């Protein structure tokens, strides 16, 4: 994963136009983006980006998560995202229970489906490749996946329900 410096100077190459969208103070030249002004640069999640996030809170209708990584770039600031109950799975949406899919502390691979409201991005795990990639048990131990809907604690031997991401 790449991290980027936050200060951009005029004329500095910021990246290819195929990978990033230009914002204010950025110009396009020969399919590359360059800084036009001195300032900070920041990668923001866009619709369609795959992000890594940490679940911070769950309610019966949604899981709230802090977005930490966008694509292969570690974000300098945490952005808040929401995984709604209808966005957890592609099938059987009416049978999904958030507490059986995520727990606070889980690291989740998700896709940005909407910029959402003022303070949240809307995220989805409705694909086999998306879901929990690292889970922590109630005992505080790192768990490993045993099926598409279950993680197991190696120390206690107890299993917990999760929406497991298919490994690459």
Threshold 0.85, pTM exceeds: no
**Residues carrying CATH 2.40.50.140, the chain:** 50-161
* CATH architecture of residue range(s) 50-161: Beta Barrel (2.40)
Q: Give CA–CA dist 63/116, Å, rounded.
A: 14
90-132 pLDDT, tens per residue? 888 888 899 999 999 999 999 999 988 888 999 999 999 999 9
Which of 4-18, 51-65, 116-130, 153-167 is least confident?
A: 4-18
pLDDT at 160: 94
Q: Indicate whether 15 pLDDT > 70.
A: yes
Mean pLDDT score of the chain, rounded to an integer?
89
DSSP string over 34-90 = EE-SSEE------TT-EEEEEEEEE-SSEEEEEEEEETTEEEEEEEEEEEEGGGS-S
How much is the average pLDDT of 82-90?
93
pLDDT value at 1 more than 50: no
For the stretch 19-31, pLDDT in tens is 777 878 888 999 9
pLDDT of the residue at 5 = 54
Please count the other Cβ atoms lying within 10 Å of the Cβ belonging to residue 119: 8
């Amino acid at each position: 994963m790449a991290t980027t410096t936050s200060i951009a100077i005029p004329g500095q190459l910021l990246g290819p136009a195929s990978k990033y969208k230009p914002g204010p103070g950025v110009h396009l030249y020969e399919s590359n983006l360059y800084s036009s002004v001195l300032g900070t640069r920041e990668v923001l999640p866009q619709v369609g980006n795959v992000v890594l996030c940490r679940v911070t809170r769950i309610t019966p209708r949604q899981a709230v998560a802090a977005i930490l990584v966008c694509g292969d770039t570690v974000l300098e600031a945490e952005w808040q995202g929401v995984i709604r109950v209808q966005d957890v799975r592609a099938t059987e949406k009416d049978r999904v229970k958030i507490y059986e899919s995520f727990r606070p502390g889980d690291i989740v691979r998700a896709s940005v489906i909407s910029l959402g409201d003022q303070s949240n991005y809307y995220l989805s795990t409705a694909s086999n490749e998306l879901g929990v990639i690292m889970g922590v048990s109630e005992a505080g131990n790192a768990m490993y996946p045993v099926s598409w809907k279950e993680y197991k604690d190696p120390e206690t031997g107890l299993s917990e329900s999760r929406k497991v991401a298919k490994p690459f």
